[in-house]
Amino acid sequence: MLYKRVKCYYQKGMPIWCGNWPQDRPMPEDVTETTCDAIVGPDGRLHHWDNYADFRRSMYPPICDQLDAVYKALSYISAHGVDVGPDGRAWLEKIKVIKEMYPKSS
């Protein structure tokens, strides 16, 4: 992830544009200009630093995919002799029961 110091344009205290103002877009009268930290996203667009948490959250896989990956990783280490503790074992068992009750369709 690339971070940059760029021009930022605010309207009523909210960031409305990061980077150079587009030449083909008229500048509203009540806009203020300053510099701010921005993130260059995978799409090449600049995202205001204040939105970093929301931006990062939007880049994560869906929570169901994350939980499935945790289940698979915990199952793997448990199957290879690592003690995952009572909570880990209980959680694995609950998920296993659900997966057996509702298997993936082929």
Domain assignment present for 71? yes
Structural domain boundaries enclosing 82: 63-101
Residue 46 CA from chain centroid, whole number: 15
Q: pLDDT under 50 in the chain at which residues?
A: none
The predicted structure's pLDDT at residue 6:
78
CB 10 within 8 A of CB 16: yes
Domain assignment present for 33? yes
pTM of the model: 0.53
Residue 11 CA from chain centroid, whole number: 26
Domain assignment present for 42? yes
Give the helix ranges, DSSP H, for 1-106.
52-59, 63-79, 85-101
What distance in Å separates the CA atoms of residue 95 and residue 39, rounded to the nearest whole number?
38
